[in-house]
Amino acid sequence: MALRISRRFKDISLSFSRHPITNDLIALNNEDAIKKSVINLVRTRVGERFFNDLIGSFVENSLFELQTEEPLIFLEEQIKSLLNNFEPRIKLNNVSISLPPDTNDLNVRIEYDIIGQGFPAQNIEFLLLSSRV
Protein backbone atom coordinates (compact mmCIF):
# COMPACT_ATOMS: atom_id res chain seq x y z
CA MET A 1 0.00 0.00 0.00
CA ALA A 2 1.40 3.40 -1.03
CA LEU A 3 1.30 6.29 1.38
CA ARG A 4 -0.10 9.53 0.12
CA ILE A 5 1.75 12.53 1.49
CA SER A 6 -0.32 15.66 1.73
CA ARG A 7 1.09 18.99 2.83
CA ARG A 8 -1.03 21.55 4.59
CA PHE A 9 0.07 25.12 5.16
CA LYS A 10 -1.15 27.27 8.02
CA ASP A 11 -0.19 30.78 9.18
CA ILE A 12 -1.54 33.23 11.73
CA SER A 13 -3.45 36.19 10.34
CA LEU A 14 -1.48 39.37 10.94
CA SER A 15 -4.68 41.23 11.76
CA PHE A 16 -4.71 39.26 15.04
CA SER A 17 -8.48 38.96 14.83
CA ARG A 18 -10.16 36.47 17.11
CA HIS A 19 -12.62 33.77 16.15
CA PRO A 20 -16.04 34.75 17.56
CA ILE A 21 -16.79 31.32 19.05
CA THR A 22 -13.44 29.81 20.09
CA ASN A 23 -11.72 33.15 20.85
CA ASP A 24 -8.56 31.79 19.16
CA LEU A 25 -6.56 33.79 16.66
CA ILE A 26 -7.84 33.35 13.12
CA ALA A 27 -5.58 31.19 10.99
CA LEU A 28 -5.00 31.36 7.25
CA ASN A 29 -4.88 28.00 5.49
CA ASN A 30 -3.17 26.70 2.35
CA GLU A 31 -3.42 29.10 -0.60
CA ASP A 32 -4.58 32.04 1.55
CA ALA A 33 -1.58 31.65 3.87
CA ILE A 34 0.86 31.51 0.97
CA LYS A 35 -0.77 34.45 -0.80
CA LYS A 36 -0.47 36.63 2.29
CA SER A 37 3.13 35.54 2.79
CA VAL A 38 4.07 36.45 -0.79
CA ILE A 39 2.47 39.90 -0.50
CA ASN A 40 4.19 40.50 2.87
CA LEU A 41 7.57 39.55 1.43
CA VAL A 42 7.19 41.93 -1.51
CA ARG A 43 6.00 44.80 0.68
CA THR A 44 8.79 44.36 3.24
CA ARG A 45 11.59 46.90 2.88
CA VAL A 46 15.22 45.76 3.00
CA GLY A 47 16.45 45.93 6.60
CA GLU A 48 12.95 46.10 8.06
CA ARG A 49 13.02 42.60 9.56
CA PHE A 50 15.05 42.21 12.72
CA PHE A 51 17.87 39.66 12.67
CA ASN A 52 17.65 39.13 8.89
CA ASP A 53 18.60 42.13 6.78
CA LEU A 54 18.45 40.09 3.56
CA ILE A 55 14.67 39.75 3.53
CA GLY A 56 12.90 42.52 1.65
CA SER A 57 12.81 44.46 -1.60
CA PHE A 58 13.18 48.02 -2.85
CA VAL A 59 9.69 48.05 -4.37
CA GLU A 60 8.13 50.30 -1.70
CA ASN A 61 11.11 52.70 -1.86
CA SER A 62 10.82 53.09 -5.64
CA LEU A 63 7.26 54.41 -5.68
CA PHE A 64 8.29 58.07 -5.81
CA GLU A 65 11.05 57.66 -8.40
CA LEU A 66 10.62 58.59 -12.05
CA GLN A 67 9.62 55.31 -13.66
CA THR A 68 11.06 53.91 -16.87
CA GLU A 69 11.35 50.35 -18.14
CA GLU A 70 14.87 49.73 -16.80
CA PRO A 71 14.04 50.12 -13.07
CA LEU A 72 10.90 48.01 -13.56
CA ILE A 73 12.96 45.13 -14.95
CA PHE A 74 15.32 45.45 -11.96
CA LEU A 75 12.37 45.33 -9.54
CA GLU A 76 10.90 42.29 -11.29
CA GLU A 77 14.21 40.44 -10.99
CA GLN A 78 14.52 41.47 -7.36
CA ILE A 79 11.04 40.11 -6.56
CA LYS A 80 11.84 36.84 -8.37
CA SER A 81 15.05 36.44 -6.38
CA LEU A 82 13.30 37.32 -3.11
CA LEU A 83 10.48 34.80 -3.59
CA ASN A 84 12.78 32.04 -4.85
CA ASN A 85 15.01 32.45 -1.79
CA PHE A 86 12.49 33.06 0.99
CA GLU A 87 9.22 31.34 -0.02
CA PRO A 88 9.98 27.61 -0.43
CA ARG A 89 6.28 26.66 -0.70
CA ILE A 90 5.90 28.06 -4.23
CA LYS A 91 7.35 27.54 -7.69
CA LEU A 92 7.44 30.97 -9.30
CA ASN A 93 6.16 31.22 -12.88
CA ASN A 94 6.12 34.93 -13.67
CA VAL A 95 6.48 38.38 -12.14
CA SER A 96 5.41 41.52 -13.97
CA ILE A 97 5.22 45.15 -12.90
CA SER A 98 3.33 47.80 -14.83
CA LEU A 99 2.68 51.49 -14.34
CA PRO A 100 -0.83 52.86 -14.44
CA PRO A 101 -0.76 56.09 -16.49
CA ASP A 102 -0.17 59.42 -14.73
CA THR A 103 0.48 57.94 -11.28
CA ASN A 104 3.43 56.87 -9.18
CA ASP A 105 1.74 53.59 -8.33
CA LEU A 106 2.97 50.14 -9.32
CA ASN A 107 0.74 47.27 -10.41
CA VAL A 108 2.43 43.99 -9.39
CA ARG A 109 1.33 40.63 -10.81
CA ILE A 110 2.82 37.38 -9.51
CA GLU A 111 2.00 33.94 -10.92
CA TYR A 112 3.08 30.76 -9.10
CA ASP A 113 2.29 27.12 -8.38
CA ILE A 114 2.00 25.76 -4.84
CA ILE A 115 4.44 22.92 -4.22
CA GLY A 116 2.93 19.78 -2.69
CA GLN A 117 -0.70 20.67 -3.37
CA GLY A 118 -3.03 20.03 -6.28
CA PHE A 119 -4.19 23.64 -6.52
CA PRO A 120 -4.30 25.29 -9.93
CA ALA A 121 -1.79 28.04 -10.74
CA GLN A 122 -2.23 31.02 -8.44
CA ASN A 123 -2.28 34.67 -9.55
CA ILE A 124 -1.83 37.62 -7.23
CA GLU A 125 -2.31 41.14 -8.49
CA PHE A 126 -2.04 44.13 -6.19
CA LEU A 127 -1.45 47.85 -6.47
CA LEU A 128 1.26 49.57 -4.49
CA LEU A 129 0.24 53.16 -3.82
CA SER A 130 2.69 56.00 -3.42
CA SER A 131 0.76 57.44 -0.49
CA ARG A 132 -1.02 55.79 2.38
CA VAL A 133 -4.72 56.43 2.79
pLDDT digits (tens, 9 = 90+) for 79-89: 999 999 998 88
Q: What residue type is assigned to position 103 of the chain?
A: T
The Cα–Cα gap between 19 and 26 comes to: 6
pLDDT digits (tens, 9 = 90+) for 88-111: 888 999 999 888 777 777 888 999
| pLDDT computed for residue 67 by the predictor | 61
Least confident of 63-67, 76-80, 88-92: 63-67
Which CATH architecture is the domain 31-128 placed in?
Answer: Roll (3.10)
Q: How many CA atoms, within 13 angstroms, populate the side-chain half-sphere of residue 1?
A: 2
Contact 79, 95 (CB under 8 A): yes
- For the chain, the structural domain boundaries read 31-128
- In sequence order, the β-bridge partners of residue 8 are none
Question: 99: closest CA among 61, 66, 132?
Answer: 66
